[in-house]
Chains A and B, each alone.
Chain A
Amino acid sequence: EAGVVQSPRYKIIEKKQPVAFWCNPISGHNTLYWYLQNLGQGPELLIRYENEEAVDDSQLPKDRFSAERLKGVDSTLKIQPAELGDSAVYLCASSLGVTSNTGELFFGEGSRLTVL
């Protein structure tokens, strides 16, 4: 079974440019998370979806960040315009949510963003 797939793996852009990241969760996983991770630090939650509904987006900087999960499967995270401080790894994770015994989050390999 395929794991969580993210693309692109790496992206280098100039500041003020837009960027988008895509995530395909594990089939059947209703819960999807986007995290931001700076080097050597723990992931910080940006947004959590239950199916197509964003149930927690309190940490998402809504002036420049947006996310969607159409049809409750794939998800995209967009930044417009990007700032230097947005350079980080953007991690997508999925889980079975309420039907999981362990609450395990399955992560993709991440999308590393560099803003110049």
Chain B
Amino acid sequence: TQLLEQSPQFLSIQEGENLTVYCNSSSVFSSLQWYRQEPGEGPVLLVTVVTGGEVKKLKRLTFQFGDARKDSSLHITAAQPGDTGLYLCAGAGGGTYKYIFGTGTRLKVLA
């Protein structure tokens, strides 16, 4: 049973457009991560957020952790074809390292 719901499930956009992916839960997480996965490979970590309201930027990617630590968002500015992939959020609760993954958002950026 997935406890983290991501939206949208699929997203196809043109190069240069902006987009936001959401990760929502009814549970509180002590830390939340975002991963990107390409076909035939395992997920690769993009960022970890641990403080409610925290905002982190990684080049054109902006990550935000909700104040109540139940939700998060990933915003990509001026998307490029190289951003294509499956984006996954993952949360761990209670100070544990039991990471539960979200349902995933498949992004395709067209040139």
Contacts and interface: CB of A to CB of B under 8 A. Distances in A.
Contacts, number: 66
Contact of A42 (B31, B40, B45, B88): B88
Given A4-B42, A103-B48, A40 B104 contact: yes
Interface stretch (A13-21, A65-73, A75-83, A89-97): A89-97
A44 B101 contact: yes
B19 interface: no
B48 A42 contact: no
Nearest to B43: A107
Interface residues of A, number: 26
Nearest to B99: A105
B42 A110 contact: yes
- The range of chain B's interface size is 20 to 34
Interface in B58-111: 86, 88, 90, 92, 97-104, 106
Contacts of B104: 40-42
Interface of B: 2, 4, 6, 31, 33, 35, 40-45, 48, 86, 88, 90, 92, 97-104, 106
